[in-house]
């Protein structure tokens, strides 16, 4: 289905399959019934959405809602709302939809007995796994396991994944320290009083502007926005500077290298001097919530070296960067590491959450990293279909093609509107660009929504692109058309 795209010359430069001025006649190949373009009938949120907001307000806080969606009318790259508006979705449930709304293959699979049984008979996976669970793990998670990581821990969400990964790291650290000996009586008793040595003082190093979740432990490593952290007690854990690089990267190689060296030196210094031993380091391949901040393979290779040198577990948080959005299944595959990360965490577009690890991170005793559900086999069934579709339809190649098309187009916008758009950056379709102020960024997101394109911000003043893996250059043309109209309006103000 993507052969048309794949047979284009691999020039690595702008690939214009569709004239920018002519709206596409071909909808997404997977969705013969996909909408051709956005349909706008009301302001957004429209009257029905506002009514539902009022209703919801009786029970839940609705203040973060953009609008109420009508999922039965959503198709492929388009999300429908309750007021009859149809929006091109380039934000995708905060970066979490892989192969489109109402994907026909998922609908077909969902009607199978296997799925129905899994929907209505939810197992406590750690205690009574269904008979096909080992085969399902093999057919889903292990199909895309990062090189070198042969085990998978399943969890409920990205925060859960990171939270349990930290626990695995601490248990591993203490196991090594104990030399494999059993727990002492003192440890067994002191942990019940939340005291050392049973509850040891250990830390996880993260980066400034990082986002790793909002559960209690992960929140201490999240440092993107104060609003996430206020009023919550936090661990006294170290935070290193993440490189503040200049874009475009090719034009600032020397100073960017210096900046990365500065951050690497800071990481090593913190590991050596922090008053609480550093057991693990967690990093996003591209800091997403914090503003789509980029660092080079050199930086991550450096982090890997430092963590190996100091026996610090290296956790790569691929919750947002994983599942093909950079054109490779895992963003860390772009780094050419000589040793794999110790742990890779995932959620979002994977549908299922958890972390990959090597056997050393399985605790020495069972029943330590544990809870009721231990993940959800339904999400593994979904992942199985998604992976099959990605492979069968060469969808990662599509991400690379659409990503190049999008990045080149954004670079053109940067040239056309230099006072508004800057710092186009990223890889695959994991792209972002800045505006001069947070207010202008917010205006652009609002204007795009009013014109039928759903996007999202990140950091202080960036817009991030988080389309589905099946997003085509034709969809990007629609975005370009609405983006140009928005920027024209702003430039004329
Ligand atoms: O406001 C929020 O809670 C948001 S907005 C986007 C996210 C959370 N991202 C979640 C996320 C992530 O981007 C990375 C890199 N790591 C962990 C998480 C946490 O995942 P969830 O939200 O599934 O717990």
What atom in ligand 1 is closest to the CA of residue 215?
24
Q: What is the pLDDT of residue 493?
A: 80
Domain 43-105+395-467+482-491 is found in CATH 3.40.50.300: no
Residue 157: strand, helix, or coil: coil
* Tokens (6 digits) for 60: 């839940």
Strand runs (DSSP E) across 45-144, as ranges?
78-80, 86-89
CA of 354 to the centre of ligand 1 (A): 13
Report whether 300 contacts 261 (CB < 8 A): no
Q: Distance between CA atoms of 427 and 404, rounded to whole angstroms? A: 8
Q: What is the pLDDT of residue 157?
A: 98
Residue 272 has pLDDT above 90, yes or no: yes
What pLDDT, in 10s, does the model give residues 344-358? 999 999 999 999 999
State the chain's mean pLDDT as an integer: 94
Q: What is the arithmetic mean of pLDDT over 266-280?
A: 98
Q: Residue 227 — very low, low, confident or very high, per pLDDT cuts 50/70/90?
A: very high
Q: Distance between CA atoms of 360 and 169, rounded to whole angstroms? A: 10
Supply the Cα-derived Rg of the chain in whole angstroms. Answer: 23
Q: In the chain, pLDDT over 90 holds for what percent of residues?
A: 92
**β-pairing verdict for 151-155 and 353-357:** antiparallel
Q: What is the arithmetic mean of pLDDT over 470-485?
A: 97
Q: What is the pLDDT of residue 381?
A: 98
Q: What is the arithmetic mean of pLDDT over 137-141?
A: 98
What pLDDT, in 10s, does the model give residues 78-129? 999 999 999 999 999 999 999 999 999 999 999 999 999 999 999 999 999 9
Residue 193 has pLDDT above 90, yes or no: yes
What pLDDT, in 10s, does the model give residues 368-383? 999 999 999 999 999 9
Residue 174 has pLDDT above 60, yes or no: yes
What pLDDT, in 10s, does the model give residues 63-73? 999 999 999 99
Which residue has the CA at smallest separation from atom 20 of ligand 1? 158
Q: What is the pLDDT of residue 29?
A: 65
Q: What is the pLDDT of residue 33?
A: 80
Residue 491: strand, helix, or coil: helix
Q: What are phi and psi of 237, to 5 degrees?
A: -110, 150
Report whether 206 contacts 195 (CB < 8 A): no
The separation between CA 259 and the C-alpha centre of its own chain, rounded to angstroms, equals 25
Class of domain 114-390: alpha beta
Q: What is the pLDDT of residue 11?
A: 34
Q: What is the pLDDT of residue 294?
A: 96
CA angle, 474 then 476 then 482, to 5°: 115
Report whether 217 contacts 235 (CB < 8 A): yes
Report whether 185 contacts 378 (CB < 8 A): no
What pLDDT, in 10s, does the model give residues 388-423? 999 999 999 999 999 999 999 999 999 999 999 999
Q: Please state the pTM of the whole predicted model.
A: 0.94
Q: What is the pLDDT of residue 3?
A: 33
How many helices (H) and strands (E) would you count in the chain?
16, 16
Domain ranges of the chain: 43-105+395-467+482-491, 114-390
Residue 480 has pLDDT above 50, yes or no: yes
Q: 43-105+395-467+482-491 and 114-390 share one CATH topology?
A: no
The partner residues of 207 in beta bridges, in order of sequence, read 240
Active-site annotation, residues: 211, 317, 348, 372
Does residue 30 come out as left (phi exceeding 0), alpha (psi in the -120 to 50 range) or beta?
alpha
Among 475, 430, 245, smallest CA distance to 328 is for: 430
CA of 479 to the centre of ligand 1 (A): 25
CA of 348 to the centre of ligand 1 (A): 8
Q: In the chain, pLDDT over 70 holds for what percent of residues?
A: 94
The runs of H, that is alpha helices, within 235-376 are 253-273, 297-309
What atom in ligand 1 is closest to the CA of residue 160?
24
Q: What is the pLDDT of residue 28?
A: 64
Q: Distance between CA atoms of 154 and 151, rounded to whole angstroms? A: 10
Q: What are phi and psi of 462, to 5 degrees?
A: -105, 155
Ligand 1: residue of 154, 289, 349, 353 to mutate (most ligand atoms within 8 A of CB) is: 289
Q: What are phi and psi of 316, to 5 degrees?
A: -105, 120
């Amino acid at each position: 289905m993507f052969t048309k795209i794949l047979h284009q010359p691999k020039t690595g430069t702008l690939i214009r399959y569709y004239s920018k001025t002519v709206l596409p006649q071909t909808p997404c190949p997977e969705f013969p019934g996909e909408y051709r373009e956005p349909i706008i009938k009301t302001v957004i949120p429209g009257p029905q959405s506002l009514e539902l907001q009022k209703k919801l307000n009786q029970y839940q806080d609705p203040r973060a809602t953009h609008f109420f969606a009508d999922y039965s009318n959503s198709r492929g790259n388009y999300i429908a709302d309750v007021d009859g508006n149809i929006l091109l979705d380039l934000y995708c449930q905060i970066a979490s939809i892989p192969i489109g709304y109402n994907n026909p293959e998922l609908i077909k699979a969902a009607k199978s007995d296997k799925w129905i049984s899994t929907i209505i008979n939810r197992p406590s996976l750690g205690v009574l796994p269904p008979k096909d669970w080992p085969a399902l793990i093999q057919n889903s998670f292990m199909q895309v396991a990062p090189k070198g990581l042969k085990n998978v821990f399943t969890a409920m969400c990205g925060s859960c994944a990171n939270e349990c990964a930290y626990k695995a790291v601490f248990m591993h650290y203490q196991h090594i320290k104990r030399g494999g000996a059993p727990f002492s009586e003192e440890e067994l008793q002191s942990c019940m009083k939340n005291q050392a040595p049973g509850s040891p003082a250990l830390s996880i190093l993260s980066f400034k502007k990082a986002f790793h979740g909002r559960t209690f432990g992960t929140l201490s490593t999240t440092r993107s926005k104060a609003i996430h952290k206020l009023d919550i007690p936090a661990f006294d854990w170290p935070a290193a500077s993440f490189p503040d690089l200049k874009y475009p990267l090719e034009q600032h190689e020397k100073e960017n290298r210096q900046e990365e060296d500065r951050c690497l030196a800071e990481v090593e210094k913190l590991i050596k001097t922090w008053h609480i031993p550093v057991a693990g380091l967690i990093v996003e391949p591209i800091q997403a919530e914090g503003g789509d901040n980029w660092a080079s393979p050199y930086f991550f290779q450096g982090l890997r070296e430092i963590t190996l040198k100091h026996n610090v577990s290296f956790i790569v948080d691929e919750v947002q960067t994983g599942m093909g959005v950079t054109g490779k299944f895992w963003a860390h595959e772009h780094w050419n590491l000589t040793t794999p990360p110790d742990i890779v965490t995932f959620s979002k577009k994977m549908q299922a959450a958890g972390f990959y690890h090597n056997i050393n991170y399985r605790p020495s005793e069972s029943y330590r990293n544990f809870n009721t559900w231990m993940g959800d086999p339904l999400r593994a069934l979904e992942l199985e279909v998604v992976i099959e579709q990605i492979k069968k339809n060469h969808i990662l190649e599509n991400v690379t093609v659409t990503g190049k098309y999008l990045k080149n187009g954004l670079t053109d916008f940067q040239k056309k509107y230099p006072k508004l758009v800057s710092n186009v950056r990223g890889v695959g379709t994991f792209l972002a660009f800045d505006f001069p102020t947070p207010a202008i960024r917010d205006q652009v997101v609002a204007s795009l929504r009013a014109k039928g394109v759903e996007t999202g911000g990140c950091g202080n003043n960036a817009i991030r692109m988080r389309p589905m893996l099946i997003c085509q250059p034709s969809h990007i043309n629609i975005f370009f058309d609405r983006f140009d109209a928005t920027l024209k309006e702003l430039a004329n103000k």
